[in-house]
Structure formats: structure tokens, C-alpha cells
Amino acid sequence: AQSVTQLDSQVPVFEEAPVELRCNYSSSVSVYLFWYVQYPNQGLQLLLKYLSGSTLVKGINGFEAEFNKSQTSFHLRKPSVHISDTAEYFCAVSPSGAGSYQLTFGKGTKLSVIP
């Protein structure tokens, strides 16, 4: 079984400042890692994914995340946020082996960008 912990439920940050949203996971098997974003009244949109290879993953909208196997973390970063980044962000994992790629999500982090 897998579990995901997003350490901050809410993160306020000023416009053009950097931001880091933290995610830790626990799993007895190898996993793939994802970050999704949910804007109000919308579905989830994939920001980025880590499957294998380079531990630094670049995604859409200027976001990036770094996989740290020893710390079982997959923190999301952006060097300069915009008002339009205000949304809820979800970290998720899925098993990497054959079978189902069902996602286990964290509780989410609400990012509020302050003008």
C-alpha cells in the first residue's frame, strides 16, 4: 500500500516570490510520482510526473520537482509565482509494476498568491 503526506495544507506567497510545496510518500513497492493542479470548479490537470531517470523533473507552467529516494520526497517548486498559480495542488503516487496504476493522493495544498 502507498500513502502520501503533503506537509502544508495552505501556503500563502507573494507574487513573483519562489514557492516550494512539500510532499513525502511511503510505499512498499516502487512507485511513479505525480503532481496535479486543480483550479476552482475544474478537474485535475497533470503538472509533471517522475517515472525514472533524472531526479529533476520539469513540468508545465514553469514548475519543477525533485525526486529524493532516500528522503522519500517529491517537492514541487517554482522560482517565481503568478496570480494565476492560485489553485490546489495534489501530490500522487501509483505503483510502477504491472497491474493497476491507480493513484493515491495527498490531502492537497492550497496555494494562494498575494498581489
Partner 1 sequence: DSGVTQTPKHLITATGQRVTLRCSPRSGDLSVYWYQQSLDQGLQFLIQYYNGEERAKGNILERFSAQQFPDLHSELNLSSLELGDSALYFCASSKETSNQPQHFGDGTRLSIL
Least distance to partner 1, CB of residue 72, Å: 19
For partner 1, the closer CB: 80 or 84: 84
Residues that bind partner 1 (CB under 8 A): 32, 34, 36, 41-46, 49, 51, 90, 96, 99-108
Strands (E), 1-115: 2-6, 10-14, 19-21, 23-27, 31-38, 44-50, 56-58, 64-68, 73-78, 87-95, 104-105, 109-114
For partner 1, the closer CB: 34 or 74: 34
For partner 1, the closer CB: 42 or 54: 42
